[in-house]
Amino acid sequence: MSTFKDKIDISRLPKHIAIIMDGNGRWAKERGYDRIYGHQNGVISVREVTEAAAEIGIEYLTLYAFSTENWGRPQHEVDALMELLIDTIEKETPTLNKNNISLMAIGDLSRLPLEAGKKLNKCIDQTSSNTGLNLVLALSYSSRWEITNALKNISTDIIQGKLSQNQINDELIASYLTTKSIPDPDLLIRTSGELRISNFLLWQIAYSELYFTNTHWPDFRKESLYEAICDFQNRERRFGK
């Protein structure tokens, strides 16, 4: 039986895939459980999709794990998410090393609880020499925060004489973003049927291909990712030309 993985042209893989992992809460509600149950099952999808991306040779996978707006959720849900984050990072570090995956993080990481920040930095350090997939977690991230922060830093450097106004161009702005060492996404996936970007990588997805699926994140597994990649490979990318 043919699978979507069999149809993928390995010579034309997207270099960078970004995913808005949506639908954990709706998935849990449909089954009569609390939202946290959905987040817990969403971790299984994170593991599967990360393994799938690594197996076929994707270079960068960015997962929108926690937005700056998510801090406004009920405190018990935020606390549970942070606890889940710490637990998952600690448990998955050996697996990341086994699969030659390095962990990176973007966002306003200073807002993370102290213990979460420590565990995150430890995992980043312990996987930094791996040369396979780069797994990027967007934590306490929003694009408007990122762009605003970049503009503040650019203006500071102009005031301090490190930059002149006529040096400002696309490349310079990109170098002040949290993604400065990461290529722009070729493919952006959003699960759970919502047709919006939700303040995610707004600068970086200027020419990304967008893929929306009704599948809730806890049901999005390896074949789901391969199907999205097949859809991507059937498109013609013109970059505005």
What's the token pair of residue 98?
Answer: 């086994």
Token digits of residue 18: 């970004």
Q: What is the 3-state secondary structure (H, E, C) of 161-177?
A: CCCCHHHCCHHHHHHCC
Residues designated catalytic: 22, 70
CA–CA separation, 19 vs 196, rounded Å?
12
Strands 16-20 vs 209-212: parallel, antiparallel or unpaired:
unpaired
Q: Which residues of 13-45 are buried (b: 16+ CB within 10 A; e: fewer)?
A: bbebbbbbbbbbbbbbeeeeeebbbbbbbbbeb
